[in-house]
Each structure stands twice: as structure tokens, then as C-alpha cells.
């Protein structure tokens, strides 16, 4: 049995998973509001209690390995979660779970390892392209933040190289985008792509386009305006919301194209995270792909890069489980020799 976790500043999802061939099956899953807990060990303790019967009924009856995708940079055997006061320590987890096979991954790293496990129905293809066998792949994911990673073929499988590329400088390309940069510079010293291409970017873009148009969630304490802007924009009942979504996907496509060029991702570009599936009609209307390709001298090359949207919300859990299982197998084979 594999314990997998997708750990972020807002929520922490934990799951017991079984490996069936090349696939993983979720046996038991529970979601936790991260900010309500003082220590990660407390979340683990609660989960083990809730999942005790499922674990006992499994063939091994114990947790053989555990993998966690975490919203933060992994340093050695530990990681501090961005936007939380606590972190995760692999040595402490070894003692608590009774297994030596603990894998800590950046959250995008975990998503990257899920790509080999996804079924065809887990993907929506924006551009078939001409995939290069074993070519480098790129992964970009807008959600609470903007994550980026690259995947390189090592001779037998893809290895994920995490990054903090979402924090690179926002590069405007048009007069409107130059105006957006000037607008943002009145509020922030540094303007990154993550400031715009993430959940918080929806309200920012809406207010840039027309500050006089307001909706109830804009002024409600603690509310997230993104769902309301998304709903009104998709149903066409607010022109500014529709323009907000169009500008968002254009900027998303532009940064995805930047990443694709840096990685020379002829093996494909994967768009993950919670936002893309929620605005799928806008992602498919051509603005994302057009901005993706609009690069000096390389429009023709980029037009042949495959682009897929990851629809499976449990991708980080799948990737964390897959990498934990893979490393456990390597350790077992090494022990057998």
C-alpha cells in the first residue's frame, strides 16, 4: 500500500493507493484544510486513524512507501510549505509511518511523474503536433500559484526537473500588456508571471480592464472572486469577465510558449493545475495556442509542439504514489543483490 499526499498552503489531500500493473487505484482519500493544523504529523495521525480499516484489509496490511508532493522547494530531507508555518521532515515521517521509503517532491515534480500514469480520458489535446519520441517535455500549472517543470528522458523513463519559473519577470508583448505592467508597478516592486497567471490574477486583470465594474465577491471579506469571474465570463453575462478570461489565457499561452522554447519541448507541453479545466472553453478558443506560438523566428517550430491539458485533479497524488513506488522498487532490487 502506498500513501500519497498533495500538500499545499490551502489544502492537503492524502490517499491510500494500490498499484495495479501500470495504474494506481485510490483506496481511501481524505482532504484537510492545511491552516487548521499546527503540524503535518497531526494530519498523518488523523488520516491513519480514518484509513485503518482500509489499510488492514489490504494485502500487505502496512504502508510500504509514501510520497508527498509539496508546495515548496525540497531541500535535502525536508521542505517548508509556502504560506504555512509548518513543514515536513522525512525522518520524522519514517518513524511515524514505519517505513524507510519516504519521498518528498515539489508539487510540480509530483504532477510531472503522474504524466506516464494518466489515461487518455485524463487529457484534453489542444494541439496534436508532431511529438518527438523521448523528446524533452514541459509542464506548466496555474492554480494558487504558477508552477513550471521540465521532463528529460534518462534512457528508461522521464525524470522531472522542478523549477521556480513562475516567479520570472512578466514580459509584456503588446500595448495592452505594457499598460498592464505599468498598472501592476503602481502596486508591486516586482511583477512576475505568477502574479497574473494564477488564481489571484483574475481579480487583478478584471480591475485593470475596468475598475468600475464590480461583483459581489469582490468586496466580500475572505471571498475568492475567481469563481464568479469565471462563471460570468463563460456564460457571457459580463463583458469584462469575458475579456478577463481571454487576457488570462493569452498570458498563460505566452508563458507556456516561453517555457516550451527554453526546454525545446518537442516531446510535448502539458498544462496542469486547477484553473485550465475550469475555463476549458476559453483554453480551446485559439487565444492560448496563438500566444504560445507567437515567438520570434520560431512560430513554425512551436506550432508542431503537442499541447495537452491535464484534466485529472488527482494528478499530483498519482505522481507522488508513482515515484514512491518506483524508488521502493529500486531499493528492493538493490537489497536483493
pTM over 0.95: no
Nearest to 113, CA basis, from 147, 85, 150, 88: 150
> How far is it, in rounded angstroms, from Cα 216 to Cα 261?
40
Instruction: Please give the C-alpha separations between residue 210 and each of 203, 206, 216, 238, 240, in angstroms, as whole numbers.
Output: 11, 6, 15, 11, 7
So what's the pLDDT on residue 333?
A: 63
So what's the pLDDT on residue 332?
A: 61
Nearest to 277, CA basis, from 123, 140, 159, 160: 123
pLDDT of the chain, 337 residues: tens digit per residue:
899 999 988 889 999 999 887 789 899 999 999 989 999 999 999 999 999 999 888 877 889 999 999 988 888 899 988 778 888 999 999 999 999 899 999 999 999 999 999 999 999 999 999 999 999 999 999 998 899 999 999 999 999 998 889 999 999 999 999 999 999 999 999 999 999 999 999 999 999 999 999 999 999 988 899 999 999 999 999 999 999 999 999 999 999 999 999 999 999 999 999 999 999 999 999 999 999 999 999 999 999 999 999 999 899 999 999 999 988 876 666 655 5
So what's the pLDDT on residue 63?
A: 92
> How far is it, in rounded angstroms, from Cα 130 to Cα 305?
6
So what's the pLDDT on residue 227?
A: 96
The structural domains of the chain, ordered by start, are: 2-107+314-336 (3.30.420.40), 120-311 (3.40.367.20)
Nearest to 196, CA basis, from 105, 88, 98, 291: 291
Amino acid at each position: 500500500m502506498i500513501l500519497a499526499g498533495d500538500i499545499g498552503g490551502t489544502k492537503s489531500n492524502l490517499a491510500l493507493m494500490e498499484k495495479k500493473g501500470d495504474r494506481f487505484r485510490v483506496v481511501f482519500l481524505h482532504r484537510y484544510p492545511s491552516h487548521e493544523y499546527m503540524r503535518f504529523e497531526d494530519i498523518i495521525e488523523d488520516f491513519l486513524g480514518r484509513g485503518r480499516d482500509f489499510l488492514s484489509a489490504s494485502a500487505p496490511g502496512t504502508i510500504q512507501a509514501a510520497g508527498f508532493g509539496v508546495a515548496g522547494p525540497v531541500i535535502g530531507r525536508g521542505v517548508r510549505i509556502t504560506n504555512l508555518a509548518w513543514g515536513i521532515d522525512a525522518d520524522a515521517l519514517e518513524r511515524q509511518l514505519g517505513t524507510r521509503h519516504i519521498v518528498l517532491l515539489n508539487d510540480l515534480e509530483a504532477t510531472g511523474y503522474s504524466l506516464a500514469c494518466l489515461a487518455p480520458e485524463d487529457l484534453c489535446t489542444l494541439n496534436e503536433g508532431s511529438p518527438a519520441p523521448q523528446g524533452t517535455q514541459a509542464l506548466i500549472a496555474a492554480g494558487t500559484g504558477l508552477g513550471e517543470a521540465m521532463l528529460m528522458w534518462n534512457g528508461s523513463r522521464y525524470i522531472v526537473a522542478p523549477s521556480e519559473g513562475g516567479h520570472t519577470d512578466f514580459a509584456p508583448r503588446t500595448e495592452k500588456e505594457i499598460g498592464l505592467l505599468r498598472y501592476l508597478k503602481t502596486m508591486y516592486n516586482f511583477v512576475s508571471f505568477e502574479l497574473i497567471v494564477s488564481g489571484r490574477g483574475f481579480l487583478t486583470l478584471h480591475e485593470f480592464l475596468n475598475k468600475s465594474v464590480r461583483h459581489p465577491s469582490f468586496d466580500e471579506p475572505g471571498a475568492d472572486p475567481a469563481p464568479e469571474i469565471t462563471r460570468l465570463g463563460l456564460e457571457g453575462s459580463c463583458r469584462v469577465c469575458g475579456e478577463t478570461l481571454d487576457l488570462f489565457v493569452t498570458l498563460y499561452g505566452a508563458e507556456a510558449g516561453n517555457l516550451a522554447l527554453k526546454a525545446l519541448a518537442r516531446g510535448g507541453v502539458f498544462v496542469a493545475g486547477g484553473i485550465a479545466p475550469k475555463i476549458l472553453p476559453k483554453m480551446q478558443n485559439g487565444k492560448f495556442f496563438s500566444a504560445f506560438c507567437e515567438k520570434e523566428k520560431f512560430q513554425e517550430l512551436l506550432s508542431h509542439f503537442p499541447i495537452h491539458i491535464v484534466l485529472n485533479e488527482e494528478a499530483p497524488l498519482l505522481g507522488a504514489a508513482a515515484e514512491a513506488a518506483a524508488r521502493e522498487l529500486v531499493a528492493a532490487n538493490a537489497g536483493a543483490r
